[in-house]
């Protein structure tokens, strides 16, 4: 499955919900999931597309600090060349670096992936190298469909803008509550798509935004 072309068919009159209550749990989730049904991006690693924990870990490593559209272009080849931890070890750091070059940060990524493959092959218990909270929750979401919050910079930006909060802990707690209320980790994917297509880092499309009625940062002069 290849990445589909993102599209926006938002009808402001139908999608804005004047008066929705930010403080009612599940409100953000409800509105975002409605938007997501119409606008979600298709990527091969999304729910149902991941076949093993190793595949989910590799996917999370590839997606780090990299646009999903860029990863999608090389995903098939990279995944097939990295089908098992043993394959990654056979390639070695040099080979991994060459393979991962199109994504950038290849030297760091190659070293980390090599260390991860080594730790898995050697059966080292405890914390896996390079696997922090973000990677762990993304793996739990993509591989097991667990409704856990996946906190990345884009998700933080959206929650912070909508609720007008800056404190990281507060943002994480809002996200955790909304994911719980949604009962699905797909809310994370909805937020990622929403951050990429509407609530962009620069020039957010506030005039096309289904959350504009309640957003504390809404700007009618946005693009
Ligand atoms: S109104 Fe603008 S800032 Fe607020 S969530 Fe929508 S796009 Fe983002």
**Residue 113 has what pLDDT?**
96
What is the residue whose two structure tokens read 């797909």?
Answer: 186
**Residue 93 has what pLDDT?**
98
Q: Whose CA is nearest to atom 2 of ligand 1?
A: 206
**Residue 10 has what pLDDT?**
28
> CATH 1.10.340.30: which residues of the chain?
53-132
CATH number for the domain formed by residue range(s) 12-43+145-208 = 1.10.1670.10
CB of 207 closer than 8 Å to CB of 222: yes
Alpha-carbon gap, residue 44 to 31, rounded angstroms: 25
> pTM (2 decimals)?
0.83
157-163's contacts with Cβ under 8 Å and 24+ in sequence apart are 157/195, 157/199, 157/201, 158/191, 158/194, 158/195, 158/199, 159/191, 161/199, 161/204, 161/215, 161/216, 161/217, 162/22, 162/28, 162/211, 162/214, 162/215, 162/216, 162/217, 163/22, 163/216
Q: Which of 162, 165, 193, 203 to mutate to test the pocket of ligand 1 (most atoms within 8 A of CB)?
A: 162
Fold of 53-132: Endonuclease III; domain 1 (1.10.340)
Q: What is the pLDDT along the chain (223 residues), one digit of tens a residue?
A: 333 333 322 233 333 334 456 666 778 899 999 999 999 999 999 867 888 889 999 999 999 989 999 999 999 999 999 999 999 999 999 999 999 999 999 999 999 999 999 999 888 667 888 888 889 899 999 888 899 999 999 999 999 999 999 999 999 999 999 999 899 999 999 999 999 999 999 999 999 999 988 899 887 766 5
> CATH 1.10.1670.10: which residues of the chain?
12-43+145-208
Is any ligand 1 atom within 6 A of the Cβ of residue 215?
yes
Tokens encoding 98 = 């060459």
Q: Which of 17, 218, 219, 221 to mutate to test the pocket of ligand 1 (most atoms within 8 A of CB)?
A: 218
Q: Whose CA is nearest to atom 8 of ligand 1?
A: 199
Q: How far is the centre of ligand 1, averaged over its atoms, from the C-alpha of 159 (Å)?
A: 10
Alpha-carbon gap, residue 128 to 119, rounded angstroms: 7
């Amino acid at each position: 499955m290849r990445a589909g072309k993102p599209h926006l068919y938002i009808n402001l009159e139908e999608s804005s919900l004047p008066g929705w209550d930010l403080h009612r749990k599940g409100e953000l989730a409800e509105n975002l999931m409605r938007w997501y049904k119409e606008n979600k991006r298709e990527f091969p690693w999304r729910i149902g597309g991941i076949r093993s924990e190793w595949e989910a870990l590799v996917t999370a490593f590839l997606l780090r600090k990299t646009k999903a559209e860029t990863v999608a272009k090389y995903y098939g080849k990279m995944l097939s060349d990295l089908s098992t931890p043993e394959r990654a070890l056979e390639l070695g750091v040099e080979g991994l670096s060459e393979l991962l070059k199109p994504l950038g940060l290849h030297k760091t990524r190659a070293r980390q992936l090599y260390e991860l493959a080594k730790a898995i092959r050697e059966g080292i218990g405890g914390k896996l190298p390079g696997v922090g909270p973000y990677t762990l929750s993304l793996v739990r979401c993509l591989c097991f469909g667990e409704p856990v919050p996946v906190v990345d910079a884009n998700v933080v930006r959206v929650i912070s803008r909508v609720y007008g909060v800056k404190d990281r802990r507060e943002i994480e707690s809002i996200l955790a509550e909304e994911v719980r209320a949604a009962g699905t980790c797909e809310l994370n994917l909805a937020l990622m798509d929403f951050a990429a297509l509407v609530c962009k880092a620069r020039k957010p499309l506030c005039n096309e935004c289904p959350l504009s009625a309640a957003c504390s940062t809404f700007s009618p002069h946005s693009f």
